[in-house]
Structure 1
Amino acid sequence: MNIVLFFLHWWRPALEIAILAVGIYSAFIFLRGTRGAPIVTGFLALLLALTLTTRLLDLQVLNALLNQFFAFLAVGVVVIFQPEIRRMLAEVGNLPLSNNAREQREKIEVVCETVDRFSPVRIGALIALEQGIQLADAVESGVVVDCEATPEMLETIFFPNNAIHDGGVIIKGDRILKAACIFPLTQRQDLHKSLGTRHRAAIGLTEETDAVVVVVSEETGQISYAHRGQLVRNVTVQELRAFLTEVLVRRPVTRNWLSWLRPSNRVNPNQSGA
């Protein structure tokens, strides 16, 4: 009987605590590694210190102002993390029904074969693979190509003497939409100074969208990829193929509404192997 009464009395607080715990964990996973995380962390630390001080010293005016200020905190978080929130919503809305596994695998093979040709001869490349968010919203520049995505066409576009070899290429499905695109550069200050424009553009575009961007360095021929604002450098073609298959084929099929809460394996762009 006591157990029943205890359950009837405490189930609401227990539910509230569980919801708060999930919310705090979700926020931690979502904010970790983003470019606005240090700002929010420092701001919250300062706000917590001020709140404790006003409560301990009974500073009623400041305490009232701080309570009112919390109402504007949510708006500030939305503004600071607008790109990350848009990317998260796109991932949640990218339903399995819209995923064509065969088309995705063919696109993966086109990209892998292309970088396999480029890497030994050090032909630079910047290839963005569109997913849920339309890249036209983030990239207004570029030359409309609208042709089938093949290694030969990509080789033609990125050939050093070609007029449109500079900039990035956008691939949607099995077609090349645009070439010579100028992707937004990341504003992160913690990146190594040796990181080139292509790699910074790859990070920048994936900070604002859910795209996957593949890079071939013109200086070293090394292959890299960026996703969710994180760059992985100096990978093999086999490693690239495995990653693209995981993101474009397997993950959409198994994705559920809680998948974005899982911690992602983040790689420091400052690692050796520029």
Structure 2
Amino acid sequence: MNWVRDNWRAFVEILLLAAGIYYCIRLVRGTRGAPVVLGFLLVMLVLTSLTLALNLEVLRLLLRNFLAFFAIAVIVIFQPEVRRIFANLGSLPFFASARETRQNIEVLIKTVERLSDVRIGMLVAIEQTIQLQDVVESGVPVDCVATPEILETIFFPNNAMHDGGVIIQGDRIAYAACIFPLTQKPGLSASLGTRHRAAIGLSEETDAVVVVVSEETGAISYAHKGELVRNVSIEQLRDFLTSVLVHAPPPRGVVEWVRSLFGRSAVHAGLPANTKPGS
């Protein structure tokens, strides 16, 4: 017990360092500068190992001073990613007022109403505390303010990005043409199209709210926590979104905190293969 009491700070430091490294790897994964940084880190690891093994004092001093320049180089290389991180922090629900959230809901409501009238299919996921990192990697970056006009343009049948899901983060359209995971839940109605199955699948693995408009009937549905509610009215959809996005309590517990930091892949493993939503 004395050993644990004397070394608990070291355990905390190792845990925080490991979490920080893991989160940084997730942020840079798939970016253009990632191979450069990973290759450089590999070289630095080899040089550091040789320095410690052979006790090379001059090289150790050079490496120590070079780390400061390396930190600046990382910021320059990943400038778009750093800017995106701070932009996303500003759009988190913690920083969003109830008024702003209601305005965002109305944007989606207007879009759903218009697309439902003309029977144009739609699949939109509203990101909450769990990052949809695995999903957005399959999509096309958009990064613009969400408006009914832009959403309608994305889902217009002749648009190259219409065959997929849209991710909304705060008041912004983050990604389009995303591949959502299909649900493997047994006993579902055979009449459910791919869009509805994708909506259920994503809501099973994250806390996202997914809204669907049927391409065949124009019917409106939403999925949350693995449950699909079909054929709702505009008012029912508005009430539901308000109850979840405006009046919902903050997430609790260690699991929710971990999932909010690292996304769904930190909790779920062995997920089914993704499929492009189609109908």
Shift of 1:98: 4.1
Shift of 1:251: 1.3
Q: Deviations over 1:142-192 (max 9, x none)?
A: 111111100000011001111111100000001000001110000112101
* Distance change (3 Å), C-alpha of 1:220 and 1:137: same
CA RMSD of aligned residues (A): 1.9
Shift of 1:104: 1.2
Runs of 4+ aligned structure 1 residues displaced above 2 Å come to: 95-100, 137-140, 255-258
Superposition map of 1:226-245 within 5 A: 226-245=223-242
Task: Work out whether 1:145 is the aligned partner of 2:142.
Answer: yes
Equivalents in 1 of 2:93, 2:165: separation in Å?
28
Does the 8 A contact of 2:127 with 2:208 survive in 1? Answer: yes
Shift of 1:109: 0.3
SS at match of 2:246: helix
SS at match of 2:188: coil
Whichever residue aligns with residue 119 of structure 1, its letter is S
Same amino acid, percent of matched pairs? 71
Does the 8 A contact of 2:129 with 2:207 survive in 1? Answer: yes
TM-score by length of 1: 0.57
- Aligned match for 1:195, one of 192, 196, 203: 192
TM-score by length of 2: 0.56
- Aligned match for 2:127, one of 110, 117, 130: 130
How many equivalent pairs are there?
A: 163
Gaps of 5+ in 2: 1-91, 256-279
Task: Work out whether 1:212 is the aligned partner of 2:209.
Answer: yes
Superposition map of 1:88-167 within 5 A: 97-167=94-164
Whichever residue aligns with residue 187 of structure 1, its letter is Q
Shift of 1:103: 2.0
- Report what 2:166 is aligned to: 169
Gaps of 5+ in 1: 1-94, 261-274
Q: Deviations over 1:73-117 (max 9, x none)?
A: xxxxxxxxxxxxxxxxxxxxxx98444312211110011000000
- Report what 2:87 is aligned to: none
* Distance change (3 Å), C-alpha of 1:115 and 1:256: closer
Does the 8 A contact of 2:93 with 2:170 survive in 1? Answer: no
* Distance change (3 Å), C-alpha of 1:170 and 1:96: closer
Does the 8 A contact of 2:121 with 2:214 survive in 1? Answer: yes
Equivalents in 1 of 2:187, 2:139: separation in Å?
29
* Distance change (3 Å), C-alpha of 1:146 and 1:96: closer
Does the 8 A contact of 1:139 with 1:183 survive in 2? Answer: no
